[in-house]
Amino acid sequence: MKVIFGLSNAFALAIILMACGNVNNNQETNNKKIETEIVKTELEIEADETKTVANLTIEGMSCEKMCAGLINQKLAGLEGVKACEIDFENKVASVEYDDVKVNEDEMVNTITSLNDGQYSVTKIEVKKMVKKVEKTESNDSVESDETAYLDEDGTSISFFNIFDVISRIY
C-alpha cells in the first residue's frame, strides 16, 4: 500500500513539473529574438514621493503556482523592487520599483533567463508618477541677461544682452 501511495505521489509530482516545463520544444522558435514593445508615460501627482510601476506582459507561463510563482519570487528578489504581483490570467506582472536601483532591462533579463528561456516579455508599460511642481510668481518674474537662439542643428546658443550689462555698471 505504501509503495502504491509513494508511486502515485511521485507520478503526480512529475506531471506538475512537466506542466511547468518548457512548453515549446521547437528550437527555431526558442532561438528567435522576440521584440519587446516599450511604452513609457510620466504623470504628475499630488503625492510627496515618486512612484514607478512597470506592467510586463509575459508569454510562456503554463501554470499559476509554479511559473507565476517563480517569476514573482525572482522579480521580488531584485534590489529596488518594492512590490510585485502576477496576474496569471492576463499574463501581466505588475512591479513597483525604484528606477534608480533597478530598470526594465534587468527585470526582462531576470524573467527571460528562467527555465532555459521559457518566458518572454512582449510588452512593457512603465508609468512614472512624479510630484507635481507648483509654479510660483518668483519663478516667472526672473529676468535674464541672456538671449537664447537656436542654431541650424537645434542646439541652443546664449548671448548676453550687452546693453543690460552696461546699464547695470553705470
- For residues 8 and 117, the model is more confident at 117
What CATH code would you report for 33-131?
A: 3.30.70.100
In this predicted structure, the answer to whether residue 7 has a pLDDT above a threshold of 50 is yes
Claim: this prediction has a pTM higher than 0.85: no
Residues 122, 136: Cα–Cα separation, whole Å: 43
Return the CA Rg of the chain: 27
pLDDT of residue 35: 79
32 DSSP assignment = S
- For residue range 49-92, list pLDDT tens digits in order: 889 999 999 999 999 899 999 999 999 999 999 999 999 999 99
pLDDT of residue 160: 60
SS (H, E, C) 33-65: CCCCEEEEEEEEECCCCCEEEEEEEEECCCCHH
pLDDT of residue 37: 85
Question: How distant, in Å, are the alpha carbons of 4, 24, 38, 137 from that of 125?
Answer: 50, 26, 6, 36
* Residues in contact with 78: Cβ distance below 8 Å, sequence separation at least 6, in sequence order: 97, 102, 106, 107, 110
So where are the chain's domains? 33-131
Residues 40, 60: Cα–Cα separation, whole Å: 24
